[in-house]
């Protein structure tokens, strides 16, 4: 059963095969959790949303249409739940007037000789600061490595919009990481100061 | 191709989604522009690093917790199904019982005559009411009143008609009217 394709496996899930469902959960839980966690970086909330996603998949197992890829369907359910959670938070934030506080920008490391590995936590922090739709597109494309067509189906926007959002997200990330990059370039390659201003 | 156009096409260039003409134009620009070269290098680095970010995973007991939740959901839905059928059957039984009750007992109840609520008043009261009209300030001549009284007196012989005359709603016992023994109004 381990070598079954997603569709064949889900056919067994639709026939109330509990073992097939456990296998299906094992296949998807890490991918989905990683996606959810990139948007809402809280462990407990992430697990709750993940559980709700699988419960919905289980409840709708007999209504699944094989016209869509299984991953698209599952990601769409997860995305809907994530959006719903974000809406609730936005309302709560608005009610508590927290939206008046601005998030702290990325802090540069004090280390004068930064290692290449330090880019990862900075990048993670920069991803968290991306605007909602850009972050979704970036996470699905560059972290989850889904094709553009599938992202377009999940986000329910044209492929061109997905491409432009991803390009914009990358540019924003570059701008956010630019100070660190400048420091890195100056130390490692000795770029002239005038060129580093861009 | 200028820096602005190149900037828009860098992602597509990295992913190999440009036409050969666009690729040659972009590469031509990159040879001469160090800023765009750096931009390209930065975006490549971001894509590469994003793919290497630590992947998050749910807790080790997640699958068990999920299966427990599904079992709970199934047991709840089974109980709900049983109760739904029970409620449906009891509802049908109640409606049937009510229908049968009405079928057997209903016609008997409807045949029972209720006492009439019509207020019947003797002619004397009518006279009082008419005289009240006078005292209420309506300009009724003495002749008209006499004619009315005569009309009321006519059906005296018919006892059934006398009983079925309705009282006006605003009937008030007239004050200050003297009557003789023959029920004639005296002003």
Q: Evaluate if residue A165 carries a pLDDT over 80.
A: yes
- CB contact (8 A) between residue A174 and residue B38: no
pLDDT digits (tens, 9 = 90+) for B42-66: 888 889 888 888 888 888 888 888 8
Residue B96 touches partner A, C-beta closer than 8 Å: no
Please give the model's pTM, rounded to 2 decimal places: 0.63
- Cβ partners under 8 Å of residue B55, min gap 6: A30, A34
Instruction: Tell me the per-residue pLDDT of A114-153, one tens digit each, with 9 for 90 and over.
Output: 455 678 888 888 998 898 889 999 999 999 999 999 999 9
Q: Which two tokens stand for residue B71?
A: 């079992």
Measured CA to CA in angstroms, residue B182 lies from A38, A196, B148, B159, B179 at distances of 107, 128, 15, 17, 8
Q: Which of A132, A141, A82 is nearest to A149 (CA)?
A: A141
CATH 1.10.1740.10 fits A1-101, yes or no: yes
Which parts of chain B have pLDDT scores under 70?
78, 80-82, 107-145, 148-149, 152-187
Partner B contacted by A166 (CB < 8 A): yes
Tell if the CB–CB gap between A167 and B11 is shorter than 8 Å: yes
User: Rounded to an integer, what distance in angstroms lies between the CA atom of residue A11 and that of residue A66?
Assistant: 10
The closest alpha carbon to A78, from A107, A57, A102, belongs to A57
User: Which residues of chain A lie closer than 8 angstroms to B67, CB-CB?
Assistant: 18, 22
A171 touches chain B (CB under 8 A): yes
CA distance A180 to A119: 8
Return residue ranges of chain A for CATH 1.10.1740.10. 1-101
Q: Where are the domains of chain B?
A: 3-51, 123-186
Question: Count of CB contacts below 8 A, A vs B?
Answer: 92
Q: Determine the residue among B17, B18, B39, B58 to mutate to test chain A binding: the one whose Cβ has the most chain A Cβ atoms within 10 Å.
A: B58
Q: Which residues contact A37 (CB under 8 A, 6 or more apart)?
A: A43, A46, B56
Tell me whether residues A30 and B55 touch, CB distance under 8 A.
yes
Per-residue pLDDT tens over the stretch A38-82: 998 888 999 999 999 999 999 888 888 888 888 999 999 999 999
Say yes or no: ipTM exceeds 0.90: no
Name the CATH topology of A103-198. Answer: Arc Repressor Mutant, subunit A (1.10.10)
């Amino acid at each position: 059963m381990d070598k079954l394709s997603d569709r064949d496996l889900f056919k067994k899930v639709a026939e109330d095969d509990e073992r097939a469902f456990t296998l299906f959960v094992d296949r998807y839980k890490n991918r989905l959790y990683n996606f959810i966690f990139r948007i809402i970086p809280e462990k407990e909330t992430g697990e709750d949303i993940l559980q709700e996603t699988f419960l919905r998949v289980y409840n709708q197992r007999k209504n699944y249409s094989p016209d869509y890829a299984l991953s698209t369907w599952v990601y769409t359910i997860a995305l809907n739940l994530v959006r719903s959670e974000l809406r609730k938070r936005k309302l709560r934030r608005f009610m508590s007037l927290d939206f008046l506080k601005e998030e702290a920008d990325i802090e540069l490391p004090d280390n004068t000789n930064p290692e290449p590995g330090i880019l990862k936590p900075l990048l993670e922090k920069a991803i968290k600061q991306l605007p909602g739709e850009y972050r979704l597109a970036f996470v699905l494309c560059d972290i989850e490595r889904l094709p553009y067509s599938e992202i377009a189906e999940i986000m329910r926007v044209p492929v061109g919009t997905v491409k432009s959002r991803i390009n914009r997200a990358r540019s924003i990330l570059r701008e956010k990481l630019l100070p660190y990059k400048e420091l890195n370039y100056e130390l490692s390659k000795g770029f002239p100061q005038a060129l580093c201003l861009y | 191709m200028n820096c602005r156009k190149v900037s828009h096409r860098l992602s597509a260039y990295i992913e190999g989604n440009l036409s050969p003409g666009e690729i040659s134009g972009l590469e031509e620009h990159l040879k001469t522009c160090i800023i765009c070269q750096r931009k390209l290098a930065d975006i490549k680095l971001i894509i590469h690093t994003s793919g290497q970010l630590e992947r998050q995973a749910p807790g080790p007991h997640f699958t068990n917790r999920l299966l427990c939740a599904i079992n709970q959901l199934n047991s709840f839905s089974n109980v709900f199904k049983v109760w739904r059928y029970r409620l449906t059957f009891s509802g049908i039984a109640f409606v049937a019982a009510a229908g049968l009750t009405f079928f057997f007992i209903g016609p008997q109840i409807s045949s029972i005559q209720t006492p009439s609520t019509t207020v019947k008043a003797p002619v004397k009261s009518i006279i009082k009411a008419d005289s009240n009209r006078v005292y209420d300030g309506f300009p009724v001549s003495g002749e008209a009143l006499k004619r009315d009284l005569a009309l009321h007196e006519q059906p005296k012989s018919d006892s059934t008609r006398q009983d079925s005359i309705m009282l006006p709603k605003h009937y008030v016992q007239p004050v200050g009217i003297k009557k003789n023994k023959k029920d004639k109004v005296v002003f």
